[in-house]
Amino acid sequence: MTTANKVHAQWSSRMGFVLAATGSAVGLGNIWKFPYMVGDSGGAAFVLIYLACIFLIGLPILVGEWLLGRRGQKNPIHTMQQLAADNHRSRVWVLVGLGGVLAAFLILSFYSVIGGWSLAYIKDAVTGNFSGQDGDGIGAIFGGLLASPGLLIFWHSLFMLITIGIVARGVTGGLEAAARTLMPALGVLLVLLVIYGMTTGGFMDALAFMFKPDWSQLNGGIVLAALGHAFFTLSLGMGIMMAYGSYLGEDVSLLQSARTVVIMDTVIALAAGLAIFPIVFANGLDLGQGPGLIFVTLPVAFGNITAGWLVGVAFFVLLTFAAIASAISLLEPVVEFVEERTPLSRMGATLVSGVAAWALGILALLSFNVLSDFTLLGLGIFDLLDTLTSKFLLPLTGLGVILFVAWCLDKEQVRQELGLDIYDFSLWNLIARYIAPIGVLVVFFANL
Ligand code: PHE
Ligand code: NA
Protein backbone atom coordinates (compact mmCIF):
# COMPACT_ATOMS: atom_id res chain seq x y z
CA MET A 1 0.00 0.00 0.00
CA THR A 2 1.36 3.44 -0.86
CA THR A 3 1.18 6.73 0.98
CA ALA A 4 -1.32 9.56 0.97
CA ASN A 5 -2.13 11.96 -1.79
CA LYS A 6 -0.74 9.90 -4.61
CA VAL A 7 -3.17 9.05 -7.28
CA HIS A 8 -4.30 5.71 -6.07
CA ALA A 9 -3.97 2.46 -7.86
CA GLN A 10 -6.99 0.22 -7.50
CA TRP A 11 -7.61 -3.38 -6.57
CA SER A 12 -7.37 -5.61 -9.58
CA SER A 13 -10.67 -7.20 -8.76
CA ARG A 14 -13.42 -7.37 -6.20
CA MET A 15 -11.89 -10.69 -5.20
CA GLY A 16 -8.51 -9.09 -4.43
CA PHE A 17 -10.19 -6.46 -2.30
CA VAL A 18 -12.31 -8.93 -0.35
CA LEU A 19 -9.25 -11.13 0.20
CA ALA A 20 -7.20 -8.25 1.55
CA ALA A 21 -9.98 -7.15 3.89
CA THR A 22 -10.48 -10.73 5.04
CA GLY A 23 -6.73 -11.07 5.58
CA SER A 24 -6.87 -8.17 8.00
CA ALA A 25 -10.09 -9.31 9.66
CA VAL A 26 -9.41 -13.00 10.19
CA GLY A 27 -6.70 -13.54 12.74
CA LEU A 28 -6.02 -14.11 16.41
CA GLY A 29 -9.24 -12.25 17.18
CA ASN A 30 -11.25 -15.15 15.79
CA ILE A 31 -9.27 -18.12 17.00
CA TRP A 32 -7.52 -16.95 20.14
CA LYS A 33 -9.62 -14.08 21.52
CA PHE A 34 -13.22 -14.94 20.67
CA PRO A 35 -13.22 -18.38 22.35
CA TYR A 36 -11.62 -17.17 25.56
CA MET A 37 -14.02 -14.22 25.76
CA VAL A 38 -16.92 -16.66 25.36
CA GLY A 39 -15.43 -18.80 28.13
CA ASP A 40 -14.83 -15.82 30.41
CA SER A 41 -18.28 -14.33 29.97
CA GLY A 42 -20.37 -17.41 30.51
CA GLY A 43 -21.21 -18.56 26.99
CA ALA A 44 -24.28 -18.17 24.83
CA ALA A 45 -25.62 -14.83 26.07
CA PHE A 46 -22.30 -13.26 25.12
CA VAL A 47 -22.28 -15.06 21.76
CA LEU A 48 -25.76 -13.83 20.83
CA ILE A 49 -25.06 -10.24 21.86
CA TYR A 50 -21.81 -10.44 19.93
CA LEU A 51 -23.64 -11.60 16.79
CA ALA A 52 -26.13 -8.74 17.16
CA CYS A 53 -23.22 -6.29 17.50
CA ILE A 54 -21.55 -7.73 14.39
CA PHE A 55 -24.58 -7.43 12.16
CA LEU A 56 -26.28 -4.29 13.51
CA ILE A 57 -23.20 -2.23 14.34
CA GLY A 58 -20.04 -3.80 12.86
CA LEU A 59 -21.38 -4.39 9.38
CA PRO A 60 -22.73 -0.86 8.84
CA ILE A 61 -19.51 0.63 10.20
CA LEU A 62 -17.46 -1.57 7.88
CA VAL A 63 -19.53 -0.29 4.95
CA GLY A 64 -19.14 3.23 6.33
CA GLU A 65 -15.35 3.00 6.48
CA TRP A 66 -15.10 1.68 2.94
CA LEU A 67 -17.47 4.35 1.71
CA LEU A 68 -15.46 7.14 3.33
CA GLY A 69 -12.22 5.72 1.99
CA ARG A 70 -13.54 5.39 -1.55
CA ARG A 71 -14.92 8.92 -1.36
CA GLY A 72 -11.84 10.52 0.16
CA GLN A 73 -9.25 8.58 -1.90
CA LYS A 74 -6.62 9.38 0.72
CA ASN A 75 -5.28 7.96 3.94
CA PRO A 76 -7.73 7.98 6.86
CA ILE A 77 -6.59 11.19 8.51
CA HIS A 78 -6.56 13.14 5.25
CA THR A 79 -9.80 11.54 4.19
CA MET A 80 -11.54 12.73 7.35
CA GLN A 81 -9.93 16.17 6.99
CA GLN A 82 -11.03 16.55 3.42
CA LEU A 83 -14.52 15.10 3.73
CA ALA A 84 -15.18 17.25 6.79
CA ALA A 85 -14.09 20.34 4.85
CA ASP A 86 -16.06 19.36 1.72
CA ASN A 87 -19.18 18.93 3.78
CA HIS A 88 -18.60 22.04 5.89
CA ARG A 89 -18.08 20.09 9.07
CA SER A 90 -15.78 20.68 12.00
CA ARG A 91 -12.16 19.58 12.03
CA VAL A 92 -12.75 17.47 15.13
CA TRP A 93 -13.64 14.61 12.79
CA VAL A 94 -9.91 14.24 12.21
CA LEU A 95 -9.75 12.80 15.73
CA VAL A 96 -11.44 9.71 14.33
CA GLY A 97 -8.40 9.14 12.15
CA LEU A 98 -5.92 9.94 14.93
CA GLY A 99 -7.64 7.72 17.48
CA GLY A 100 -7.49 4.94 14.94
CA VAL A 101 -3.73 5.19 14.47
CA LEU A 102 -3.20 5.18 18.23
CA ALA A 103 -5.43 2.12 18.62
CA ALA A 104 -3.60 0.27 15.85
CA PHE A 105 -0.26 0.93 17.54
CA LEU A 106 -1.45 -0.24 20.96
CA ILE A 107 -3.12 -3.37 19.58
CA LEU A 108 -0.04 -4.31 17.54
CA SER A 109 2.08 -4.33 20.70
CA PHE A 110 0.15 -7.11 22.42
CA TYR A 111 -1.02 -8.82 19.23
CA SER A 112 2.62 -9.62 18.50
CA VAL A 113 3.00 -11.24 21.92
CA ILE A 114 0.22 -13.70 21.11
CA GLY A 115 1.58 -14.16 17.59
CA GLY A 116 4.77 -15.19 19.40
CA TRP A 117 2.88 -17.85 21.37
CA SER A 118 1.66 -19.27 18.10
CA LEU A 119 5.24 -19.40 16.77
CA ALA A 120 6.40 -21.12 19.96
CA TYR A 121 3.68 -23.73 19.46
CA ILE A 122 4.88 -24.48 15.93
CA LYS A 123 8.15 -25.50 17.52
CA ASP A 124 6.42 -27.59 20.20
CA ALA A 125 4.30 -29.33 17.57
CA VAL A 126 7.31 -30.06 15.35
CA THR A 127 9.31 -31.56 18.20
CA GLY A 128 6.41 -33.77 19.24
CA ASN A 129 5.97 -32.13 22.65
CA PHE A 130 2.20 -32.53 22.57
CA SER A 131 2.12 -36.22 21.80
CA GLY A 132 0.17 -38.30 24.30
CA GLN A 133 -0.34 -35.33 26.65
CA ASP A 134 -3.55 -34.78 28.58
CA GLY A 135 -4.93 -31.43 29.72
CA ASP A 136 -2.50 -31.22 32.63
CA GLY A 137 0.52 -31.97 30.48
CA ILE A 138 -0.41 -29.30 27.96
CA GLY A 139 -1.18 -26.87 30.76
CA ALA A 140 2.34 -27.41 32.08
CA ILE A 141 3.85 -26.69 28.65
CA PHE A 142 1.90 -23.45 28.37
CA GLY A 143 2.65 -22.50 31.97
CA GLY A 144 6.35 -22.96 31.26
CA LEU A 145 6.16 -20.58 28.32
CA LEU A 146 4.25 -17.93 30.28
CA ALA A 147 6.64 -18.09 33.20
CA SER A 148 9.69 -17.44 31.05
CA PRO A 149 10.27 -13.79 30.07
CA GLY A 150 13.21 -14.89 27.92
CA LEU A 151 11.15 -17.28 25.82
CA LEU A 152 8.23 -14.87 25.50
CA ILE A 153 10.56 -12.07 24.42
CA PHE A 154 12.27 -14.33 21.91
CA TRP A 155 9.04 -15.39 20.17
CA HIS A 156 7.47 -11.93 20.37
CA SER A 157 10.61 -10.46 18.80
CA LEU A 158 10.59 -13.02 16.02
CA PHE A 159 6.96 -12.31 15.23
CA MET A 160 7.52 -8.55 15.18
CA LEU A 161 10.64 -8.96 13.07
CA ILE A 162 8.72 -10.87 10.41
CA THR A 163 5.98 -8.23 10.42
CA ILE A 164 8.46 -5.35 10.19
CA GLY A 165 10.38 -7.12 7.44
CA ILE A 166 7.30 -7.54 5.27
CA VAL A 167 6.02 -4.00 5.79
CA ALA A 168 9.45 -2.39 5.31
CA ARG A 169 9.92 -4.11 1.98
CA GLY A 170 6.42 -3.12 0.91
CA VAL A 171 5.67 -6.64 -0.31
CA THR A 172 2.28 -6.79 1.32
CA GLY A 173 0.64 -7.43 -2.02
CA GLY A 174 2.04 -10.95 -2.15
CA LEU A 175 -0.02 -11.74 0.91
CA GLU A 176 -3.27 -11.60 -0.98
CA ALA A 177 -2.09 -14.43 -3.15
CA ALA A 178 -1.07 -16.40 -0.10
CA ALA A 179 -4.35 -15.65 1.65
CA ARG A 180 -6.18 -17.18 -1.30
CA THR A 181 -4.89 -20.66 -0.43
CA LEU A 182 -3.98 -20.46 3.24
CA MET A 183 -7.25 -19.04 4.51
CA PRO A 184 -9.36 -21.90 3.10
CA ALA A 185 -6.79 -24.34 4.49
CA LEU A 186 -7.26 -22.84 7.94
CA GLY A 187 -11.01 -23.23 7.50
CA VAL A 188 -10.64 -26.90 6.56
CA LEU A 189 -8.42 -27.59 9.58
CA LEU A 190 -10.94 -25.95 11.88
CA VAL A 191 -13.68 -28.14 10.45
CA LEU A 192 -11.51 -31.20 11.12
CA LEU A 193 -11.03 -30.05 14.70
CA VAL A 194 -14.78 -29.53 15.11
CA ILE A 195 -15.25 -33.11 13.89
CA TYR A 196 -12.67 -34.26 16.42
CA GLY A 197 -14.67 -32.34 19.03
CA MET A 198 -17.69 -34.44 18.14
CA THR A 199 -15.79 -37.59 19.12
CA THR A 200 -14.73 -36.32 22.54
CA GLY A 201 -18.07 -36.63 24.33
CA GLY A 202 -18.01 -32.92 25.14
CA PHE A 203 -19.67 -31.68 21.99
CA MET A 204 -23.26 -31.41 23.26
CA ASP A 205 -22.13 -29.51 26.31
CA ALA A 206 -20.15 -27.20 24.07
CA LEU A 207 -23.14 -26.56 21.82
CA ALA A 208 -25.35 -25.75 24.77
CA PHE A 209 -22.66 -23.54 26.30
CA MET A 210 -22.27 -21.55 23.09
CA PHE A 211 -25.87 -21.31 21.94
CA LYS A 212 -28.29 -21.85 24.81
CA PRO A 213 -28.33 -18.53 26.61
CA ASP A 214 -28.64 -18.07 30.32
CA TRP A 215 -29.58 -14.41 30.33
CA SER A 216 -29.06 -14.10 34.05
CA GLN A 217 -25.32 -14.22 33.25
CA LEU A 218 -25.57 -11.00 31.31
CA ASN A 219 -24.36 -7.62 32.54
CA GLY A 220 -23.23 -4.33 31.06
CA GLY A 221 -19.59 -5.29 31.15
CA ILE A 222 -20.25 -8.36 29.02
CA VAL A 223 -22.22 -6.34 26.47
CA LEU A 224 -19.38 -3.82 26.19
CA ALA A 225 -16.91 -6.68 25.77
CA ALA A 226 -19.05 -8.10 22.94
CA LEU A 227 -19.31 -4.72 21.26
CA GLY A 228 -15.59 -4.05 21.57
CA HIS A 229 -14.77 -7.43 20.14
CA ALA A 230 -17.04 -6.82 17.16
CA PHE A 231 -14.81 -3.84 16.29
CA PHE A 232 -11.61 -5.73 17.00
CA THR A 233 -12.49 -8.76 14.94
CA LEU A 234 -13.59 -6.76 11.89
CA SER A 235 -10.53 -4.46 12.15
CA LEU A 236 -12.81 -1.46 12.55
CA GLY A 237 -12.22 1.96 14.04
CA MET A 238 -8.57 2.11 13.02
CA GLY A 239 -8.87 3.52 9.55
CA ILE A 240 -7.58 0.21 8.19
CA MET A 241 -10.73 -0.58 6.31
CA MET A 242 -10.96 3.08 5.29
CA ALA A 243 -7.54 2.81 3.69
CA TYR A 244 -8.61 -0.32 1.82
CA GLY A 245 -11.70 1.50 0.59
CA SER A 246 -9.53 4.18 -0.97
CA TYR A 247 -8.26 1.61 -3.45
CA LEU A 248 -11.72 0.48 -4.38
CA GLY A 249 -13.32 0.96 -7.78
CA GLU A 250 -16.81 2.43 -8.12
CA ASP A 251 -18.16 -0.79 -9.55
CA VAL A 252 -17.63 -2.85 -6.41
CA SER A 253 -20.68 -3.34 -4.21
CA LEU A 254 -19.85 -2.28 -0.67
CA LEU A 255 -22.76 -4.10 0.91
CA GLN A 256 -22.07 -7.40 -0.84
CA SER A 257 -18.37 -7.25 -0.06
CA ALA A 258 -19.09 -6.42 3.57
CA ARG A 259 -21.46 -9.34 3.84
CA THR A 260 -18.81 -11.70 2.51
CA VAL A 261 -16.10 -10.47 4.89
CA VAL A 262 -18.39 -10.43 7.91
CA ILE A 263 -19.72 -13.93 7.27
CA MET A 264 -16.24 -15.39 6.78
CA ASP A 265 -15.01 -13.75 9.96
CA THR A 266 -18.02 -14.92 11.96
CA VAL A 267 -17.95 -18.49 10.68
CA ILE A 268 -14.27 -18.86 11.56
CA ALA A 269 -14.81 -17.51 15.07
CA LEU A 270 -17.76 -19.82 15.72
CA ALA A 271 -15.87 -22.81 14.30
CA ALA A 272 -12.97 -22.03 16.62
CA GLY A 273 -15.37 -22.10 19.55
CA LEU A 274 -16.87 -25.39 18.40
CA ALA A 275 -13.39 -26.89 18.12
CA ILE A 276 -12.23 -25.71 21.52
CA PHE A 277 -15.15 -26.09 23.93
CA PRO A 278 -15.73 -29.83 23.40
CA ILE A 279 -12.12 -30.36 24.51
CA VAL A 280 -12.68 -28.13 27.52
CA PHE A 281 -15.76 -30.09 28.61
CA ALA A 282 -14.40 -33.53 27.79
CA ASN A 283 -11.25 -32.92 29.83
CA GLY A 284 -12.79 -30.96 32.67
CA LEU A 285 -10.67 -27.89 31.87
CA ASP A 286 -11.35 -24.40 33.17
CA LEU A 287 -13.71 -22.43 30.89
CA GLY A 288 -12.79 -19.03 32.22
CA GLN A 289 -9.02 -19.20 32.12
CA GLY A 290 -8.57 -16.29 29.77
CA PRO A 291 -5.94 -15.76 27.08
CA GLY A 292 -4.34 -19.20 27.43
CA LEU A 293 -7.50 -21.08 26.47
CA ILE A 294 -6.68 -22.24 22.94
CA PHE A 295 -3.10 -22.97 23.89
CA VAL A 296 -4.09 -25.45 26.57
CA THR A 297 -6.98 -27.09 24.70
CA LEU A 298 -6.24 -27.67 21.00
CA PRO A 299 -2.88 -29.37 21.63
CA VAL A 300 -4.78 -32.05 23.59
CA ALA A 301 -6.40 -32.95 20.27
CA PHE A 302 -3.08 -32.78 18.42
CA GLY A 303 -1.52 -35.06 21.01
CA ASN A 304 -4.18 -37.71 20.72
CA ILE A 305 -5.10 -38.16 17.05
CA THR A 306 -3.22 -40.05 14.37
CA ALA A 307 -0.56 -37.87 12.77
CA GLY A 308 -1.69 -35.24 15.26
CA TRP A 309 1.73 -33.62 15.38
CA LEU A 310 1.42 -32.85 11.68
CA VAL A 311 -2.07 -31.43 12.13
CA GLY A 312 -0.70 -29.36 15.00
CA VAL A 313 2.17 -28.00 12.92
CA ALA A 314 -0.21 -27.14 10.09
CA PHE A 315 -2.64 -25.47 12.47
CA PHE A 316 -0.11 -23.22 14.18
CA VAL A 317 1.58 -22.37 10.88
CA LEU A 318 -1.76 -21.26 9.46
CA LEU A 319 -2.70 -19.41 12.64
CA THR A 320 0.65 -17.62 12.58
CA PHE A 321 0.13 -16.72 8.96
CA ALA A 322 -3.33 -15.29 9.67
CA ALA A 323 -1.85 -13.36 12.61
CA ILE A 324 0.95 -11.92 10.47
CA ALA A 325 -1.51 -10.76 7.83
CA SER A 326 -3.49 -8.93 10.53
CA ALA A 327 -0.35 -7.55 12.18
CA ILE A 328 0.78 -6.11 8.86
CA SER A 329 -2.52 -4.28 8.54
CA LEU A 330 -2.00 -2.91 12.07
CA LEU A 331 1.53 -1.69 11.39
CA GLU A 332 0.70 -0.10 8.01
CA PRO A 333 -1.32 2.90 9.28
CA VAL A 334 1.22 3.64 12.00
CA VAL A 335 4.07 3.61 9.48
CA GLU A 336 2.16 5.84 7.14
CA PHE A 337 1.50 8.27 9.97
CA VAL A 338 5.16 8.44 10.97
CA GLU A 339 6.40 8.60 7.40
CA GLU A 340 4.19 11.57 6.67
CA ARG A 341 5.14 13.61 9.71
CA THR A 342 8.87 12.96 9.90
CA PRO A 343 11.73 13.07 7.42
CA LEU A 344 12.09 9.29 7.79
CA SER A 345 12.04 6.99 4.79
CA ARG A 346 9.53 4.17 4.63
CA MET A 347 12.19 1.82 5.91
CA GLY A 348 13.04 4.15 8.79
CA ALA A 349 9.42 4.81 9.66
CA THR A 350 8.71 1.07 9.70
CA LEU A 351 11.64 0.42 12.00
CA VAL A 352 10.73 3.21 14.42
CA SER A 353 7.05 2.21 14.58
CA GLY A 354 7.77 -1.50 14.80
CA VAL A 355 10.43 -1.15 17.46
CA ALA A 356 8.21 1.14 19.56
CA ALA A 357 5.35 -1.37 19.41
CA TRP A 358 7.81 -4.16 20.17
CA ALA A 359 9.05 -2.36 23.29
CA LEU A 360 5.52 -1.83 24.54
CA GLY A 361 4.81 -5.50 23.80
CA ILE A 362 7.65 -6.48 26.13
CA LEU A 363 5.95 -4.62 28.96
CA ALA A 364 2.73 -6.43 28.06
CA LEU A 365 4.33 -9.88 28.14
CA LEU A 366 6.08 -9.19 31.44
CA SER A 367 2.64 -8.79 32.98
CA PHE A 368 2.32 -12.60 32.62
CA ASN A 369 5.29 -13.16 34.93
CA VAL A 370 7.67 -10.70 36.64
CA LEU A 371 5.27 -7.73 36.47
CA SER A 372 2.17 -9.76 37.31
CA ASP A 373 1.59 -7.72 40.46
CA PHE A 374 1.91 -4.39 38.72
CA THR A 375 -1.47 -2.83 37.93
CA LEU A 376 -2.77 0.48 36.61
CA LEU A 377 -6.47 1.27 37.08
CA GLY A 378 -6.75 -2.20 38.53
CA LEU A 379 -5.50 -3.93 35.39
CA GLY A 380 -2.23 -5.62 34.45
CA ILE A 381 -0.41 -4.10 31.47
CA PHE A 382 -1.64 -6.67 28.96
CA ASP A 383 -5.25 -6.30 30.11
CA LEU A 384 -4.91 -2.54 30.21
CA LEU A 385 -3.80 -2.35 26.56
CA ASP A 386 -6.59 -4.69 25.54
CA THR A 387 -9.25 -2.80 27.53
CA LEU A 388 -8.12 0.63 26.44
CA THR A 389 -8.35 -0.31 22.77
CA SER A 390 -11.31 -2.70 22.50
CA LYS A 391 -13.56 -1.15 25.11
CA PHE A 392 -12.63 2.48 24.68
CA LEU A 393 -10.84 3.66 21.55
CA LEU A 394 -12.46 1.39 18.97
CA PRO A 395 -16.07 2.01 20.03
CA LEU A 396 -15.42 5.77 20.00
CA THR A 397 -13.70 5.94 16.61
CA GLY A 398 -16.22 3.50 15.14
CA LEU A 399 -19.01 5.69 16.46
CA GLY A 400 -17.34 8.67 14.80
CA VAL A 401 -17.31 6.87 11.47
CA ILE A 402 -20.94 5.90 11.49
CA LEU A 403 -22.13 9.29 12.75
CA PHE A 404 -20.14 11.03 10.05
CA VAL A 405 -21.42 8.80 7.25
CA ALA A 406 -25.01 8.91 8.42
CA TRP A 407 -25.30 12.55 9.44
CA CYS A 408 -22.62 14.58 7.68
CA LEU A 409 -22.59 13.32 4.11
CA ASP A 410 -25.14 14.10 1.44
CA LYS A 411 -27.85 11.46 1.79
CA GLU A 412 -28.61 11.07 -1.89
CA GLN A 413 -24.95 10.53 -2.72
CA VAL A 414 -24.64 7.89 -0.02
CA ARG A 415 -27.74 6.15 -1.37
CA GLN A 416 -26.22 5.99 -4.84
CA GLU A 417 -22.87 4.90 -3.50
CA LEU A 418 -24.56 1.98 -1.76
CA GLY A 419 -26.65 1.20 -4.82
CA LEU A 420 -29.87 1.03 -2.78
CA ASP A 421 -33.41 1.86 -3.79
CA ILE A 422 -35.36 4.31 -1.65
CA TYR A 423 -36.99 1.52 0.33
CA ASP A 424 -33.81 -0.33 1.28
CA PHE A 425 -32.06 2.96 1.88
CA SER A 426 -34.54 3.89 4.58
CA LEU A 427 -33.60 0.66 6.36
CA TRP A 428 -29.91 1.55 6.01
CA ASN A 429 -30.67 5.01 7.34
CA LEU A 430 -32.53 3.67 10.32
CA ILE A 431 -29.61 1.44 11.25
CA ALA A 432 -26.81 3.88 10.43
CA ARG A 433 -28.43 6.98 11.93
CA TYR A 434 -30.06 5.52 15.00
CA ILE A 435 -29.64 1.86 15.84
CA ALA A 436 -25.85 1.57 15.49
CA PRO A 437 -24.84 4.88 17.12
CA ILE A 438 -27.40 4.66 19.91
CA GLY A 439 -26.34 1.08 20.54
CA VAL A 440 -22.70 2.14 20.90
CA LEU A 441 -23.56 5.15 23.05
CA VAL A 442 -25.81 3.24 25.42
CA VAL A 443 -23.38 0.37 25.91
CA PHE A 444 -20.44 2.71 26.25
CA PHE A 445 -21.90 5.16 28.72
CA ALA A 446 -23.70 2.53 30.75
CA ASN A 447 -20.22 1.24 31.56
CA LEU A 448 -18.53 4.48 32.50
N1 PHE B 1 -9.20 -8.29 13.09
C2 PHE B 1 -7.99 -8.95 13.52
C3 PHE B 1 -8.32 -10.23 14.22
O4 PHE B 1 -9.45 -10.56 14.43
C5 PHE B 1 -7.18 -8.11 14.45
C6 PHE B 1 -6.99 -6.74 13.96
C7 PHE B 1 -7.54 -5.73 14.67
C8 PHE B 1 -6.33 -6.50 12.78
C9 PHE B 1 -7.44 -4.47 14.19
C10 PHE B 1 -6.22 -5.24 12.30
C11 PHE B 1 -6.78 -4.22 13.01
O12 PHE B 1 -7.45 -10.94 14.61
NA1 NA C 1 -11.36 -11.18 13.08
Model pLDDT, residue 307: 87
- Centre of ligand 2 to C-alpha 233, Å, is 3
The residue-averaged pLDDT of 17-21 equals 90
- Is the C-beta atom of 233 inside 6 A of ligand 1? yes
Mean residue pLDDT of the chain comes to 92
What is the three-class DSSP state of 88? Answer: coil
Q: Which residues have CB atoms below 5 A from the ion given as ligand 2?
A: 25, 29-30, 233, 265
- Is the C-beta atom of 403 inside 6 A of ligand 1? no
272 exposed, middle or buried (CB, 10 Å; 0-12, 13-18, 19+)?
buried
Question: Over 50: is that where the pLDDT of 402 sits?
Answer: yes
- Is the C-beta atom of 243 inside 6 A of ligand 1? no
Are the beta carbons of 232 and 33 closer than 8 angstroms? yes
Extended strands (E) in 358-445: none
User: CA-to-CA distance for 12 and 148, rounded, in angstroms?
Assistant: 46
Of all residues in the chain, the percent with pLDDT exceeding 70 is 96
- Is the C-beta atom of 107 inside 6 A of ligand 1? yes
The residue-averaged pLDDT of 226-231 equals 96
Question: Over 70: is that where the pLDDT of 2 sits?
Answer: no
User: Which numbered ligand comes closest to the C-alpha of 243?
Assistant: 1
- Is the C-beta atom of 28 inside 6 A of ligand 1? yes
Model pLDDT, residue 171: 65
Summarize pLDDT for 293-336 with one digit per residue, the tens.
999 999 999 998 888 999 999 999 999 999 999 999 999 999 98
- Centre of ligand 1 to C-alpha 237, Å, is 11
Summarize pLDDT for 165-216 with one digit per residue, the tens.
999 887 666 667 777 888 889 999 999 999 999 999 999 999 999 999 999 9
Model pLDDT, residue 7: 46
Residue of 1, 24, 267, 331 to test ligand 1 pocket, by largest number of atoms within 8 Å of CB: 24
In this structure, the number of other CB atoms found within 10 A of the CB of residue 8 comes to: 16
Question: How many residues would you count in the chain?
Answer: 448
- Is the C-beta atom of 283 inside 6 A of ligand 1? no
The CATH number of 14-446, from 1.10.4160, 1.10.540, 1.10.10, 2.40.420, is 1.10.4160
Please name the residue whose Cα sits nearest to atom 10 of ligand 1.
235
Q: Which residue has the higher pLDDT, 36 or 74?
A: 36
Please name the residue whose Cα sits nearest to atom 7 of ligand 1.
235
Of all residues in the chain, the percent with pLDDT exceeding 90 is 77
Please name the residue whose Cα sits nearest to atom 9 of ligand 1.
235
- Centre of ligand 1 to C-alpha 229, Å, is 10
The residue-averaged pLDDT of 216-220 equals 90
Model pLDDT, residue 6: 42
Kindly state the DSSP code that residue 32 receives in the 8-state scheme: I
- Centre of ligand 1 to C-alpha 285, Å, is 27
- Centre of ligand 2 to C-alpha 342, Å, is 32
Question: The pTM is what?
Answer: 0.94
Q: Which residue has the higher pLDDT, 74 or 325?
A: 325
User: Which numbered ligand comes closest to the C-alpha of 262?
Assistant: 2
User: CA-to-CA distance for 55 and 60, rounded, in angstroms?
Assistant: 8
Model pLDDT, residue 106: 98
User: Which numbered ligand comes closest to the C-alpha of 266?
Assistant: 2
Summarize pLDDT for 97-113 with one digit per residue, the tens.
899 999 999 999 999 99
Residue of 61, 111, 117, 261 to test ligand 1 pocket, by largest number of atoms within 8 Å of CB: 111
Where is 144: in which H helix or E strand?
helix 135-147
- Is the C-beta atom of 240 inside 6 A of ligand 1? yes
Model pLDDT, residue 173: 65
Q: Which residue has the higher pLDDT, 59 or 170?
A: 59
Summarize pLDDT for 254-270 with one digit per residue, the tens.
999 999 999 999 999 99
203 exposed, middle or buried (CB, 10 Å; 0-12, 13-18, 19+)?
buried
Q: Which residue has the higher pLDDT, 246 or 389?
A: 389
Facing residues of 376 across strands?
379
Residue of 266, 329, 336 to test ligand 1 pocket, by largest number of atoms within 8 Å of CB: 329
The residue-averaged pLDDT of 154-161 equals 98
- Centre of ligand 1 to C-alpha 201, Å, is 33
- The ranges assigned to domains in the chain are 14-446
- Centre of ligand 1 to C-alpha 310, Å, is 27
H-assigned helices in 148-234: 149-168, 173-198, 203-211, 220-233
User: In this prediction, does ipTM exceed 0.95?
Assistant: yes
Backbone angles phi, psi at 239, to 5 degrees: 75, 0
Model pLDDT, residue 128: 93
Residue of 264, 266, 267, 330 to test ligand 1 pocket, by largest number of atoms within 8 Å of CB: 330
